[in-house]
Chain A
Amino acid sequence: GAVVSQHPSRVICKSGTSVKIECRSLDFQATTMFWYRQFPKQSLMLMATSNEGSKATYEQGVEKDKFLINHASLTLSTLTVTSAHPEDSSFYICSASGGRSPAGGYGYTFGSGTRLTVV
Chain B
Amino acid sequence: AQSVTQLGSHVSVSEGALVLLRCNYSSSVPPYLFWYVQYPNQGLQLLLKYTTGATLVKGINGFEAEFKKSETSFHLTKPSAHMSDAAEYFCAVSDLRNTPLVFGKGTRLSVIA
Which residue numbers of A lie inside 8 Å of B, CB to CB?
A: 4, 6, 31-32, 34, 42-44, 46, 49, 51, 91, 93, 95, 97-98, 101-103, 105-113, 115
List chain B residues, Cβ under 8 A from A106.
51, 97
Interface size on B, residues (CB 8 A): 26
A8–B43 CA distance with the chains assembled, in angstroms: 13
Contact assessment for A102 and B46 in the assembled complex, using a CB-CB cutoff below 8 Å? yes
Can you list 9 contacts pairing A with B, beta carbon distance less than 8 Å?
A43-B106, A44-B103, A51-B98, A93-B43, A97-B98, A101-B46, A103-B46, A105-B51, A107-B46
The answer, yes or no, to whether B48 is at the interface (CB within 8 Å) is yes
CB-CB under 8 A for A46 and B100, given A101-B46, A102-B46, A103-B59: yes
Contact assessment for B43 and A6 in the assembled complex, using a CB-CB cutoff below 8 Å? yes
Bitwise, B82-113 to A at CB < 8 A (1) or not (0) is: 00000000100010011111111110000000
The answer, yes or no, to whether B18 is at the interface (CB within 8 Å) is no
Give me 9 other A-B pairs in contact (C-beta within 8 A), A106-B97, A107-B34, A113-B41 excluded.
A4-B43, A31-B98, A42-B106, A43-B104, A98-B98, A103-B60, A107-B46, A112-B42, A113-B42
A6–B94 CA distance with the chains assembled, in angstroms: 23
CB-CB under 8 A for A93 and B51, given A34-B101, A43-B90, A44-B103: no
